[in-house]
Chains A and B, each alone.
Chain A
Amino acid sequence: MLVGLLIIVPLIASLLVFFTKGNTSRTVALGLSVVEFILSLVVLFQFKHNPASADLMLNCPWVESLGIHFAVSVDALSMLMVLLTTFLVPLIILSSFNTSYEKPNSFYGLILLMQMALVGVFTANDGFLFYVFWELALIPIYFICLLWGGENRGRITFKFFVYTLFGSLFMLVGLVYLYNHTGFETGIKSWAVTDLYEAGKSLNLQQQSVVFWCIFLAFGIKMPIFPLHTWQPDTYVNAPTQGTMLLSGIMLKMGTFGLIKWLMPVTPLALAEWGWLAIGLSVFGIFYASCIAIVQKDYKRLIAYSSIAHVGLIAAGILSANQQGIQGAVMQMLAHGVNVVGLFLIADILMRHTGTREMGKLGGIRNMNGNFAVLFLIVMLGSVALPLTNGFVGEFLLINGVYQYGAWVAAFAGLTVILGAVYMLRSYQAIMLGEKRDSAIAFGSLVSTDKWVLYIICFAIITFGVYPKPLNDLAEEGTKAILTYIK
């Protein structure tokens, strides 16, 4: 039942927020999202205490005759993803307190609705339900980007929507195909995840390959993986900051999570056959995105490309299908979620305080606000995966995992760590250090809500960098469970 509450609370919250007015919206939204976070901690406690508890599962028929169930449950992997979501959403809401949006009730209502869909995606145990939540997550974010985005938002958000919907429809075909092969012995078709795994394994290589590419297309677009990434930089740059945070911090993880839970165990043969191509694309994407990031002038766009690079490594780790690779991917998903929200907040702070995000026009801000400089530094170092930051654990495991797949992949992937350091450090240097530019003079001190968000993020970066064990244990457990299905 608890897990049902995890989904219902944000839904009720979003409905409540739709009926509020003015500044109360954001307060209510923040309060309710904190409630959701506490609820997820209760779920975590329950999970630690008794993972097989009935509180962590919910399974009621939805359309019985078609084998569709409203089946959600929490396992180690989804627990981590739910925690990431419920942890980030209050921060995202808090980070918006200094921007006044038109129609705040709709804005925060949509964010909470999105949260509901995201939690649903991470906990769904029924292929059909997974698909429904997957699509449902797209609608709020589309409207967030369309209503509160920057210039050209009509065209850009539309491209984003059609791109992702297109992929999703192929996933639907893949899933329906699998569904159609379930119940071979019993004659009863089912959407349950384990039945889909069975169905997938019963297919021959050719059939598995079709399913693999159909589903991979959807996940590849969502993450995004080269060459399916063309929607991403424009959308990230044009979306309002909170939209970008949702997209990169959480929504991107839908793709990688989906890869782990809904693709890898389903098509082991196709993975062995086509894994090289998928990994090749991912790794090439890292290299490609890093190179483009180096020459970016707009800081937000730079982060957008860095996100493609990071997710490329995550995908490569997952597709290498070994313990270190997947576990590292999970850890990196958590770290990247936290860090990228921090980076986008910093981009937003720069924009609000100086009126520009162009690195050529910024400089010397450290002289004006040392506090901000330190916070920025921590987030940036987390993002380049310095030891003792949260990014390091995942990256280390990832490269380890990819190395087991093939030394050439690891060499390529390792190169990107260096490139990542290049563009991150250079951007920090350009923005914070050096001569004090005109734009920096008016910088002033940070607003308290921004400061608090950055404090919390930096705290998380350092804490889970120094002591990653609790998360790492969960990631290990989740990975082992998935690997038993893949082997």
Chain B
Amino acid sequence: MKGLFIISGLGVLAMLAEIFKFKKLLYPLVLIGILAAYVTNFMEWNNNTNIEMFANMMRFDNVALAFSGVILVTAFFWFILANDYFEQDHVTDHFALVLFALVGAIMLTGFSNMTTLFLGIEILSIPMYVLAASRKRDLASNEAGFKYLIMGSFASGFLLFGIALIYGATGSFDLMAIRSFISHAQGDLPAFFYAGVLMVLIAMLFKVSAAPFHFWAPDVYEGSPTVITALMSTIVKTAAFAAFMRLFLVVFGGVNESWSMVLAVVIALSLVISNITAATQQSVKRMLAYSSISHAAFMLMAILANQRGMTSVSAILYYSLAYSVGSIAAFTVLYNISKAKGNANIEAFNGLGKRHPFMAVCMVIAMLSLAGIPITAGFFAKYFIFSVMIGTTFKWLIILAILTSAVGVYYYFKVIIAMYFKQEDGEQEVTMETSHVLLLALTTIFTLALGIVPKYVIEIFT
């Protein structure tokens, strides 16, 4: 909870930095601030009193703290990755926007009222629209920002409408009140309540870019500056899933028969569309965009499973951590490659195994993790999802997920094959600054460590 204040304070501080001219100090300050927020997060762990804030608008229980922990860890890694980004113009604006997006993300982990949900989503999204367009002389970046804005606002409209309908049926914005209303009604709910639930579902599916609401994602991911793409596919995703989970496992869990079939179809579509399209991509950035849709589908499966106590929650937590760390590693390599070669196509990776073995090895481990091969974090992530799914009636989705995972291996391995098998063309030297080397080493160790001792995350709530 205090973490939220610290990050908000940092955001305000970033805006002041322009006036009081301490721009240079800002970067270390932000890193320290994120660590401090992380530490306060730790200190609040298992503190079961006073977790309700602002007249029960927010509620920072262990689940919220765990997810904001994931967000803060990823944010710390992300700031190391993005150090370049804060050396161009509009430095303080960039800082402030990213930090406010983080505030929104943390809010989404701990909301306990429909209004805070909406606020969180908007606080997260609006800076992201601007950041997507932050390479302001680049047409693709402008297009990305514009598309993201239009589509995102459309989804927010759905969300608001859904919230209104639910309010109309239940008479409350409070999550717990809605929950108890649902359980007392025992199926005797007006039809427009279900319409509201489905609208909220659609809005959330938009935000996590699940098919068929995914059309914005590849263009936005490709057009945005690479570091912003990394931000979108990690932090924004984790936050959106934390919110999704809280809504559909906790609040609408009682009416799951009304949305589970819809969700199952969405998952099936996402798995098939994303993996098959990703396999045909030339640009690695775009491929990662499509693959993120497939990872979203996996996390949605845990929500669909709606399983015994905390197992679904910890499966999602583990998945988002594994996926975020793996993605940050992949984006770090991608960022350095595209800086050196001028594009993010698969050919740019040719011969990297010889030219920069360290980078290549880290990329291999990131790809293995994203593809879900033991003994990386990604394998356990997928395994935990399977193990919550196998007890449900949606066993066919597991088979589909396995078939599409095999396709996933195809496109992740295209990168590996390019690095080790293809001859490089062109002369550009690929170099990496020390901070990025450290970041890669850190994320790689993290990926392996998560795979070797998964229990510290998976048993976190027990």
Contact = CB atoms under 8 A, between A and B. Distances in A.
B216 interface: no
A424 B421 CA distance: 35
A170 interface: yes
Contacts of A63: 454-455, 458-459
A162 B406 contact: yes
Interface residues of A, number: 29
Contact of A173 (B375, B402, B409, B458): B402
Interface stretch (A153-161, A227-235, A460-468, A474-482): A153-161
Contact of B387 (A66, A154, A158): A66
Nearest to B457: A63
A165 B406 contact: yes
A162 B422 CA distance: 19
Contacts of A9: none
A176 interface: yes
A132 B402 CA distance: 16
B406 A154 contact: no
B420 interface: yes
Given A132-B375, A180-B390, A170 B402 contact: yes
Q: How large is the interface on B (under 10, 10 to 19, 20 to 34, 35 or more residues)?
A: 20 to 34
A146 B402 CA distance: 24
A154 B391 CA distance: 39
B72 interface: no
Contacts of A147: 353, 420
B462 interface: yes
B421 A146 contact: yes
Contacts of B386: 172-173, 176
Contacts, number: 72
Contact of A169 (B368, B387, B402, B421): B402
Interface string A447-479: 000000000000000000000000000000000
Interface in B406-421: 406, 409-410, 413, 416-417, 420-421
A63 B460 CA distance: 12
A139 interface: yes
Given A170-B402, A173-B398, A176-B390, A62 B455 contact: yes
B399 interface: yes
A63 B353 CA distance: 35
B420 A146 contact: yes
B383 A135 contact: no
Interface string B424-460: 0000000000000000000000000000001100110
Nearest to B399: A173
Interface in B356-411: 368, 373-375, 379, 383, 386-387, 390-391, 398-399, 402, 405-406, 409-410
Nearest to B368: A139
A176 B387 contact: yes
Secondary structure of the A contact surface, majority rule = helix
A485 interface: no
Contacts of A143: 420
B379 A135 contact: yes
Contacts of A65: 455, 458-459, 462
A386 B383 CA distance: 47
Interface in A124-168: 131-132, 135-136, 138-139, 143, 146-147, 153-154, 158, 161-162, 165-166
A288 to B, nearest CB: 26
A30 to B, nearest CB: 24
Interface string B240-264: 0000000000000000000000000
Given A180-B390, A180-B391, A135 B455 contact: no
Contacts of B390: 173, 176-177, 180
Nearest to A65: B459
Contact of A162 (B379, B410, B416): B410
Contacts of B420: 143, 146-147
A140 B334 CA distance: 24
Interface of B: 353, 368, 373-375, 379, 383, 386-387, 390-391, 398-399, 402, 405-406, 409-410, 413, 416-417, 420-422, 454-455, 458-459, 462
5 contacts: A64-B459, A66-B458, A147-B353, A169-B405, A173-B390
Given A172-B386, A177-B390, 5 more contacts: A146-B421, A158-B410, A158-B417, A172-B383, A180-B387
